[in-house]
Amino acid sequence: MVVIEKKHTYKLLKDISNIFESDQLELINLKDYDIKHCLGCEHCLEKGPCVHHDDGEILFQKIINADGIILGTPVYLRQIPGS
Q: What is the mean pLDDT of residues 24-44?
A: 88
Please check the confidence at residue 17 and state whether its pLDDT lies above 90. no
Q: What is the mean pLDDT of residues 68-83?
A: 80
Q: What's this model's pTM, rounded to 2 decimal places? A: 0.66
Q: pLDDT per residue over 37-49, tens digit each?
A: 889 999 989 998 8
DSSP 78: T
Selection from 6, 9, 62, 53 nearest residue 34 by Cα: 53
Q: pLDDT per residue over 61-70, tens digit each?
A: 999 999 888 8
CA distance 24 to 33: 20
Distance in Å from the first CA to the final CA of the chain: 18
- Residue 52 to residues 11, 49, 62, Cα–Cα distance (Å): 31, 8, 18
